């Protein structure tokens, strides 16, 4: 056996493995996005989650017991924006506009917006994001109430201290500039 010949037979005899060289398909897959269906037939795509339009008209909940708090708070926040937007729209109509239009259009838009909000927090990609957010928030070590009050007082005291220092500097520089005649009041 020659040393450094690099032949596979020589490497098998010596008990070591040849270096791994990926096939061309594996090298191409490294450059493709993770969601890419490159090299898959069209039948494989039917098993994935539906489009946003099909999800919009679905009724079921996606992973209903996971990420409930994050999804509920997100839905409440978006829902409040939708309702406030509809209310603002209702206030833009003049008083001589028929009540059916003045109240009906904002109510219809609010209902549609609330339905879209409900479906959005159950859309698989967004719901998985909110589930992971809640899981990460559970890992956070939160300060105790005592630590929070102590840190708050440190911040308040520091702000007051630096405010007093700046006031002293300001008074000194005003006195100095008046003394040399640069400022005249």
Comparing 53 with 23, which gets the higher pLDDT? Answer: 53
pLDDT at 43: 42
Can you give the pLDDT at residue 30?
Answer: 52
Long-range Cβ contact pairs of 127-136 (< 8 A, separation 24 or more): 127/62, 127/63, 127/67, 127/71, 128/63, 130/67, 130/70, 130/71, 130/74, 131/63, 131/66, 131/67, 131/70, 131/71, 132/67, 133/67, 133/70, 134/66, 134/67, 134/68, 134/69, 134/70, 135/67
The continuous run of DSSP H or E covering 9 comes out as helix 8-14
pLDDT in tens, 4-46: 555 555 545 555 665 666 565 555 555 555 555 544 444 444 3
> For the residues 43-63, what does the mean pLDDT come to?
65
The torsion of the CA quartet 78, 84, 90, 95, rounded to 10 degrees, works out to 180
Higher pLDDT, 61 or 118: 118
* Residue 79 pLDDT grade (very low, low, confident, very high; cuts 50, 70, 90): very high
């Amino acid at each position: 056996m020659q040393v450094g010949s690099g032949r596979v037979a020589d490497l098998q005899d010596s008990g070591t493995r040849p270096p791994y060289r990926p096939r061309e398909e594996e090298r191409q897959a490294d450059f493709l996005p993770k969601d890419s269906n490159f090299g898959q037939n069209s039948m494989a795509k039917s098993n994935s989650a539906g489009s946003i339009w099909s999800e919009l008209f679905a009724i079921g909940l996606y992973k209903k017991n996971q990420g409930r708090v994050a999804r509920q708070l997100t839905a409440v926040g978006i829902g409040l924006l939708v309702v406030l937007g509809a209310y603002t729209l209702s206030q833009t109509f003049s008083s001589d506009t028929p009540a059916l239009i003045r109240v009906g259009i904002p109510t219809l838009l609010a209902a549609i917006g609330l339905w879209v909000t409900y479906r959005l927090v159950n859309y698989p990609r967004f719901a998985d994001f909110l589930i992971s957010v809640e899981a990460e928030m559970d890992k956070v070590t939160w300060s105790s109430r005592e630590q929070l009050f102590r840190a708050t007082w440190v911040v308040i005291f520091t702000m007051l201290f630096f405010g007093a220092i700046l006031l002293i500097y300001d008074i000194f520089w005003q006195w100095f500039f008046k003394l040399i005649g640069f400022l005249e009041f």
